[in-house]
Amino acid sequence: MTGIGDCEATPESQGRLKTIRQSDLTGQMLVVTRNLRFANLRDMGASHTEKIFVTGHRGMVGSAVCRRLANTDCELLTATRKTLDLTKAEATDQYFETHRPNTVVFASAKVGGILANDKFPVEFLTENLTMAANAIKSAYRHGVKRFLFLGSTCIYPRDCPQPITESSLLSGPLEPTNEAYALAKIAGLKLCQYYRRQHGVTYHSAMPTNLYGPGDNYHPEHSHVLPALIRRFHQAKQVGQPHVQLWGTGQPRREFLHVDDLADAIVHLLSLESPPDWVNVGTGVDLTIRELAQLVAETVGYTGEIQTDPSRPDGTPVKCTDVTLLRESGWTHQIDLQQGLKDTYAAFRQEVDTGKLRSA
């Protein structure tokens, strides 16, 4: 597993824990302790099997986490929305009472691009907030000791210093175009932090940057920027369209992380005995939307003109994460954007050919 496998075990931690010490962002000593219950998933015997509940397993993130855990010795629990609606408190509590997971990876979310967030702020706030509150409360009530909540870097202020550090949380106003979603994710993060502080359970959060990869949502109006570009350039190439117009000026800068890298980071975070309350997950490298569009066009093989539409909103001007804290814990991304785009476009074409393309 990517991580800190070469760390030396301290005498007091033989068997269950491994500890290293590194300097954190403030120059103080950061103690990084591996929980071998997770670090050695591949080597665990049946009597030590971890029961991990991955919510949202049919989404891009949840399915990536399931792929990452598929060849380990853990018992993987999943539930479709038809089986379990996390917005229903009673049903959520019943699921936890029946299945008794040891660990939860919370990958459920109502997500969408700028247009969807702007049109449906009530749904983005209430559904995401309700799912998080129900799951966290039921997890604690039924003895879950480990809960990893997945949010987004949109939780940080619109104009916070770049690159974004974890300490930027709640230091200024949010980006208005996705404020509702961000508020729900901040609430989930804080709820985990408070349960940890008040009850001593390891409930913590990961805040990934913009994600892409297999299983993304390619809705023509409600998808995120990268899948939207893949779909538009693919269709433009098919019909011989002379130009493709970008939403906004094309100047905002964004960072992108392949979803399989996120899944690996999640397993890494589960291997830490005392992880940060929340931590950024990204590459630390950004580019403009126009530069991204050019990369997508080259990947797809589109040779037409790329235009911009400044009358459309840009969103946050710059959003790039400071990933120092995560790197100091022993993890870094492995998939560069150029290769990731090639793999993602290949997956997109396969999903189109098999009728499995997500566009809802």
For the annotated catalytic residues, the residue numbers are: 181
Residue 341 contacts residue 296 (beta carbons within 8 Å)? yes
Residue with tokens 């954190």: 24
In the structure encoding, which two tokens stand for residue 274, read together?
């005392």
In the structure encoding, which two tokens stand for residue 12, read together?
């007091």
Within 10 angstroms of residue 10's Cβ, the number of other Cβ atoms is 13
| In 36-172, beta strands by DSSP E | 51-55, 75-77, 103-106, 146-150
Residue with tokens 């018992």: 75
d(CA 323, CA 320): 9
For residue 26, with 0-12 CB atoms within 10 Å meaning exposed, 13-18 middle and 19 or more buried, which class applies? Answer: exposed
Contacts of 102 (CB under 8 A, 6+ apart): 50, 51, 52, 144, 145, 146
Cα dihedral across residues 333, 337, 339, 341: positive or negative: positive
Which among 87, 96, 94 has a CA at the least distance from the CA of 144?
A: 96
CA distances from 99 to 35, 44, 75, 329 (A): 23, 21, 11, 32
d(CA 188, CA 131): 9
Residue with tokens 């749904």: 123
- Per DSSP, the three-state class of 138 is helix
CA distances from 328 to 174, 275, 322, 324 (A): 28, 12, 12, 6
Angle subtended by helix axes 289-300 and 337-353, to nearest 10: 50
